Structure 1
């Protein structure tokens, strides 16, 4: 039964990794650079939810505050930083995102301190399925994660904003000639990625504790899942995140809790060496 317990824990962990990897791959698919501030947007979302939930007594209000904080942060970062760097090397944007992440993390540390903080969640008897204890909180968080993934899918696949984002991702020059406003597309993209990051931070904060390094610690698994799934593939990022979370948890009895993060690094190296375009990525020729 230990393996089943670890499998369930890995599934929950994988959904969080998948959400963060989705935020990474959304930005990379259109803006063409890995946003290293994704983890810190997660941390900000967790703190926003914690503050509002403590003041109102409502986790729902806290969740709404988290999403709004993530959206606002990403829109501000785009308008002040990344829009100005859009015509420069992607390395410049990557370095800028690293700097932005450090600033967000340091600000959270100054405001809230470095001590771990926890959400006040009522205790409940676990649900027992096939001799496996499943916490009701885990089921609710899994439901929230799946609902977020469904919303993102509907936006990308069924709305005009999603079609414009896909057009810019496929061919920015042709999209611009077709009359698509790139600034409007990028604002929508960054807002969507910010909201997804905030939900991931909220889920992770409810599962563990909230610290300024909360999202930073998940950044490597998120990057590994984004690469494994195929950069620019939202479905691949989520599937790879779930797979990576399960593998990490199942490996815990062998490598220990502290070193299971090394699994993500090993996966990242292997994928880059063996299949650089990832499991769901498509080969692209030079133009």
Structure 2
């Protein structure tokens, strides 16, 4: 008992970060032993239960534990490290460090399963996909941030404003006035008329829709001093109504906004030099008569852990394309967000919106028309999301439910970036976009080896 008390006293005297690192190390070692040698706590429990636990459940939980350890170590750096260059470096590079750490976890898992997998990363494509998904999430997240900053509730209908923007482009494309532009044969030159009308229509019409909904629904709740929870539930009802109306008008089939036939041509793209990186995970043994063929067609007698290629088999530089219709999404989305940031920080309107956000009663007593500020906030938040939705319609096929599938990552953006902070939302969108972009090739590479071909 004395030894236990001594240990407890010594443990309590340790710095918090040391205790946290010790706990994380314990779980990391335990889970690693379980994955590699099947001698972890869950493996022992499974043995005591006569192997009644599903095998997949055991290694999934152990893998999940190791992933949690990685995020826990990053949190320790955030919370407990002293301010300095080392802490700043770890925080800045944490997405890349976590990516490499997860590759290590997958390597350990595959070794334990006695199999192998290859993950191919195109660095230029990873960067462009990060921009595409970041701008997509940011288009919704900026509306969520603006609404929360001014009106203090989470707007579940924000993704539906994104959806309205998508279908504004389709509706304009079908009009008798603009439909002939869509039917012009490909001539090698981009036509901007329909695209520019879509930008204008998506911003104005979606913004007006936001104002109408604010006047019809949210204004009454504000007048009754409704809590943020009530406002949030009301926004969920608004989202369901808007989505149902869109299904009634446009149906559930997939659509795509095509400003001009040339926008969809593969030749209309930026070309970037790239580096192909293949991570060979798990077993890397070759049979005596086997050779490993690299991406540049070079043959090797062993499988490298990392295969980095900059040239093709013919000796030309590796390149990747970024289609114009995809590139305009981050260009326009980030531009609108920076314009909004300038409005909020450098104009009288921005000062009024910040005053209403801080104290509506004090703002009203100082002569600010609070309801007009709310109306302006509703117009801007809906309009910016609508513009993002309109350009998203050029990038991918969509249907009414598509926008809702983007809502949860957008909420993750505003939480990660600190709720109500627009600069934080921009940084968080880049992080979430990177995670979304890198998860695709990783899941595709490991899907079949671990029996998850659906990845």
2:135–2:329: 8 Å Cα contact kept in structure 1?
no
Once residues 88 and 213 of structure 1 are traced to their aligned partners in structure 2, the CA distance between those partners, rounded to angstroms, is 29
Q: Which has the higher helix share?
A: 1
The 2-side partners of 1:28 and 1:189 are apart by 10
- Deviation digits for residues 7-41 of structure 1 (CA, Å, limit 9, x no counterpart): 21111110121121111010011111000000111
Residue in structure 2 matched with residue 50 of structure 1 by the alignment: 170
Q: Choose the corresponding residue for 2:215, options 69, 79, 91.
A: 79
1:251 matched to 2:389 = no
**SS where residue 400 of structure 2 aligns?**
coil
Query: What does residue 338 of structure 2 align with?
Result: 150
1:232 and 1:256 map into 2 onto residues whose CA distance is 35
Q: Secondary structure at the match of 2:257?
A: coil
Q: Write the deviation string for residues 134-190 of structure 1: whole angstroms up to 9, x where unpaired.
A: 212222222211221122122212221111001111222221221111101101100
> Counterparts of 1:207 and 1:256 in 2: how far apart (Å)?
22
Root-mean-square deviation (CA, aligned residues, Å) is: 1.7
Summarize deviations over 1:182-208 as a string: whole Å, max 9, x none.
Answer: 101101100000111101211222111
| CA drift at 1:124 | 4.6
Q: Tell me which stretches of 4 or more aligned residues in structure 1 moved more than 4 Å.
A: none
Q: Please give the alpha-carbon distance, in whole angstroms, between the structure 1 residues aligned to 2:369 and 2:444.
A: 50
Query: 1:128 aligns to what SS in structure 2?
Result: strand
The CA distance in 2 between the partners of 1:235 and 1:218, in whole Å, is 20
Residue equivalent to 1:134: 322
Which one scores higher on RCO, CA 8 angstroms, separation ≥ 6? 1
State the TM-score, normalized to the length of structure 2. Answer: 0.55
Query: Does the Cα contact within 8 Å between 2:149 and 2:420 map onto a contact in 1?
Result: yes
Q: Is the 8 A contact 2:328 2:391 kept in 1?
A: no
Q: Is the 8 A contact 1:25 1:231 kept in 2?
A: yes
Matched, 1:105 2:293: no
| 1:93 maps to which of 231, 237, 240 | 231
Structure 2, gaps ≥5 residues long:
1-120, 182-193, 274-318, 448-455
How many Å separate the matches in 1 of 2:230 and 2:420?
19
Structure having the higher strand fraction is 2
The 2-side partners of 1:68 and 1:201 are apart by: 13
Assess if the C-alpha contact under 8 Å between 1:51 and 1:62 holds in 2: no
Aligned residues: 258
Question: Equivalent of 2:200, from 39, 42, 64?
Answer: 64
Shift of 1:255: 3.1
Q: Equivalent residue for 1:198? A: 386
- Higher CA-based Rg: 2
Q: Which runs of 5+ in 1 are unaligned?
A: 260-287
Please say if residues 329 and 392 of structure 2, whose CA atoms lie closer than 8 Å, have aligned partners that are also in contact: no
> For residue 26 of structure 1, what is the aligned residue in structure 2?
146
Distance change >3 Å, CA 133–CA 18, structure 1 → 2: same
CA distance in 2 between partners of 1:11 and 1:94 (Å) = 29
Match of residue 12, structure 1, among 132, 141, 149: 132
Between the aligned partners of 2:270 and 2:380, the Cα distance in structure 1 is 34
Change (3 A) 1:40 1:256: farther
